[in-house]
Amino acid sequence: MLLLVGSILLVPQISSAQSSGPVLSDARIGEREGETRFVLEFDRAVPYKVFTLAGPDRVVIDLPSVDWKGPGLDEVRGRGLIGGYRHGLFKPGITRVVIDLSAPATVMRHFALDAANNSGPRVVIDLGPVSKTTPSTVAMESAGWGAYAQELARSSPAIATPGPPPGSNKRVVVLDPGHGGVDPGAISTSGVYEKKVVLSYAKALKKALEATGRYDVVLTRDRDIFIPLRDRYQVAHEVNAGLFISLHADSHNSSSLRGLSVYTLSDKASDKEAEALATKENRSDLLAGTDLTGYEADVTSILISLAQQSVKQSSAYFAEILVDEMQTSARLLRNPHRFAGFAVLKSPNIPSVLIELGYLSNKSDEASLMSASHQAKMADGMVRSIDLYFDRKEKLERS
Ligand SMILES: [Zn+2]
């Protein structure tokens, strides 16, 4: 008898009228004789693709984009070979589930089940233990996946980054809400997701900057979707931005730690905390189930050429202005300007900073981050900082 945990009683789902795509109604984990079964249940049959990744050991399941009504990210409990899992929009048309394995495992079986009794159509993945020497499995897919992937590529739903309007001579700022989709970022104990908080702040700041009439603002993402780190600063290049700002909200083991901090790129970290933070933030691509073979070295090694020195100075200059200006708008962390090897700040020619707006692990910071008035105050402070930065820089260039 297969033991299923975390299962909900399936009440015939009254599907939400506004969404026409497939609905995932449940995700559950069962254990039997050393094997771990992962079951995804839907309101209709869906095609899927499954593959494994090593270093760290993961199993990735790609699905058409689904309306997820299964357990939330904060409700997921690992069991058997499954340490935990995340899900989210990986790219337009693809919902990805990334399973973190608690031990090396292989896909023993995978199959689709039709609706039966009280259950909807299901996708079933059976995982079994494997010795470290066994080569990783190649991608396996259901009958309909090839056709779905082809149709997706043909209809090409990828959205081009909206650049500044042609002929505009306003200052261009790129705002980068961290994480997204399958990578939630930090999650507070009450279930607040970093990916949602930072998107909301980025939208508010975009609005405030554009209201001045001096800026064209481009967001690296305007919804809950995964964006690889490299693509984020690539956006800044495409639109020839004057400034790139990545927005985050950290969490920390010490729940008393609070306040805003700003980070710039350096091959040597200013302190242990900044170094640990960069390592954590750089894990985004890995969390999303991206194959980093031949990529990691590029991301982790940071060589700053002479040509990059002036960009590095401009980034630090902006960070210092921000720290000064934000003092009246927000509580700051001790030594609020720090530096470390953040992959998302690696643009060689665009001044870039990463702002940690506060700590989701701190109750007061969490409450502030969720408050509209605090958001407005922060946006005001950031607009002042960005104004000062461009004003001083443009004055310098004219003189
Ligand atoms: Zn983050």
Claim to verify: residue 261 and residue 387 sit in the same structural domain? yes
Report how far residue 356's alpha carbon sits from residue 177's, in angstroms, rounded to the nearest whole number: 11
Residue 66 lies in a domain: yes
| Contact criterion met (CB below 8 Å) for 248 and 200 | no
Residue 140 lies in a domain: no
Claim to verify: residue 37 and residue 92 sit in the same structural domain? yes
Q: How many Å lie between the centroid of ligand 1 and the Cα of residue 259?
A: 15
Claim to verify: residue 116 and residue 178 sit in the same structural domain? no
Claim to verify: residue 105 and residue 243 sit in the same structural domain? no
Q: How many Å lie between the centroid of ligand 1 and the Cα of residue 393?
A: 29
Claim to verify: residue 220 and residue 291 sit in the same structural domain? yes
As given in the structure block, the two tokens for residue 359 are 């700590």
| Contact criterion met (CB below 8 Å) for 386 and 240 | no
Claim to verify: residue 252 and residue 389 sit in the same structural domain? yes
One-letter amino acid at 56 equals P
Can you give the pLDDT at residue 397?
A: 85
Residue 337 lies in a domain: yes
Can you give the pLDDT at residue 158?
A: 56
Q: What does the pLDDT look like over 41-56, one tens digit per residue? A: 999 999 999 998 887 8
Q: How many Å lie between the centroid of ligand 1 and the Cα of residue 283?
A: 10
Residue 269 lies in a domain: yes
Q: How many Å lie between the centroid of ligand 1 and the Cα of residue 194?
A: 7
Claim to verify: residue 255 and residue 359 sit in the same structural domain? yes
Can you give the pLDDT at residue 154?
A: 85
Tell which of 133, 160, 190 closes a domain.
133
Q: How many Å lie between the centroid of ligand 1 and the Cα of residue 219?
A: 16
| Contact criterion met (CB below 8 Å) for 73 and 86 | yes
C-alpha count within 13 angstroms, C-beta hemisphere, residue 63: 27
Q: How many Å lie between the centroid of ligand 1 and the Cα of residue 249?
A: 6
Claim to verify: residue 21 and residue 106 sit in the same structural domain? yes
CATH assignment at residue 43: 2.60.40.3500
Can you give the pLDDT at residue 1?
A: 38
| Contact criterion met (CB below 8 Å) for 105 and 36 | yes
CATH assignment at residue 250: 3.40.630.40
* Cis peptide bond upstream of 56, omega within 30: yes
Claim to verify: residue 278 and residue 362 sit in the same structural domain? yes
Q: How many Å lie between the centroid of ligand 1 and the Cα of residue 235?
A: 18
Q: How many domains does the chain have?
A: 2
> Which residues of the chain carry a pLDDT beneath 50?
1-18, 296-302
Largest CA distance in the chain: 80
Q: Which residue has the tokens 């002929």?
A: 167
Residue 328 lies in a domain: yes
Q: How many Å lie between the centroid of ligand 1 and the Cα of residue 250?
A: 6
Residue 144 lies in a domain: no
**E strand or H helix at 314:** helix 306-326
Claim to verify: residue 109 and residue 258 sit in the same structural domain? no
**How far from 136 is each of 39, 84, 140, 155, 199, CA to CA, in Å?**
22, 20, 12, 32, 36
Claim to verify: residue 304 and residue 384 sit in the same structural domain? yes
Residue 150 lies in a domain: no
86 is in which domain, residue-wise?
3-133
Claim to verify: residue 128 and residue 185 sit in the same structural domain? no
Residue 230 lies in a domain: yes
- Exposure string of 211-224, with b = 16+ CB inside 10 Å and e = fewer, is eeeebbbbbbbbeb
As given in the structure block, the two tokens for residue 387 are 């104004």
Tell which of 111, 133, 155 closes a domain.
133
Tell which of 133, 151, 181 closes a domain.
133
